[in-house]
Amino acid sequence: MNDLKSSLGAMFLCGFVAQPTLPAGFHSLLSQNQLGGIILFARNYDDLEQLKKLTAAVTAVREDSFIAVDQEGGNVVRFTEDFPTYPSSRYFGRRHDPQGLIQSVTQTARQLRPTGVNLNLIPVCDLAPDDPDHVIYSRTYSPDPEEVASIVTEEISCLKREGIMGCAKHFPGLQSACGDPHTVVAVSQRSRDQFRCRDYLPFRAAIASGVEMVMVTHLKADSLDPDNLATFSRKIIDGELRVHLGFAGLIVTDDLQMGAVANIFSPVEAATRAIMAGCDILLYGNLEEGLEELIETICHRAESDERLVNRIAESAARIEAFWLKQKDHR
């Protein structure tokens, strides 16, 4: 059971409530190898020194831990004050200024690395929708797949040069989505051919550039899977991302506490479905309370479900191999 708990725990990337220090429960789980890492928000940030102490507290317990943040620029930033501020990707894209965006990514990465944060959840690979009120509009560089693919390639190269891991998001692409997955299930009527010929191009470029992770989002696209959200779809995760695009790295969910998921599934059901679909890392924006119980419950489920055991083992092995590769490059 302990081995299973460690394997499962390594799949969780979790946030915690507003405090500048590592919660005791997270410290305990890290010490037992039952937590893969943390994701930080504005509520966890006071200043650079506090941030360094927080990340050091994580790596002192478990060196191979993801310490993630969404520091995209524009409205999607978690750390301000001591960090440089930059406009959104759409700002640079509308001005045909790729170098402006790359400068932003570079300066942000250079500021992040000495703080101990090792994963910035960029680049955004979605194509820009026409509607400026669309949930993803300001976070996207361009509606042109080739332009987005080009800037994504540069962003990943930049992150690698600066020693920060990246995550291509939000697969299979939100340009055609109706609805905001933060609150409701987003739905797309786009055909499979349209996804493959347009939306996938930036993800293909990210994969070719060696991006460490791809994030799947809570999108319902009947052309890809009429029965499941992308987050819970074996057809999309295995069929499209693994097989069609050839991605061999880590697949992370979007926040499983977003309304699109939380309004339908319990945390246990959401995690189990994501695991069975092929996700390696389960992202929860705030799971300080209940994480140990969640791990325990899924482990009990696995005792009578060999397929679930095998899936957990598969992802745990992929995560372990990932960290071994990271050590080889240090």
| Active site members | 182, 254
Give the type of residue at 273: R
Q: Is 296 helix (H, G, I), strand (E, B) or coil?
A: helix
**Residues 6 or more apart from 89 whose CB is under 8 A from it?**
72, 73, 74, 101, 124, 138, 139, 140, 141, 151
Helix (H) or strand (E) holding 109: helix 98-112
Residue 79: count of CB within 10 angstroms of its CB? 24
Q: Measure CA of the first residue to CA of the last residue in the chain; give whole Å.
A: 33
* Cα–Cα distance, 47 to 68 (Å, whole number): 16
β 282-284/12-14 pair status: parallel
Lookup result for tokens 């650079």: 48
* Cα–Cα distance, 207 to 248 (Å, whole number): 9
Helix (H) or strand (E) holding 17: none
Lookup result for tokens 């940030």: 45
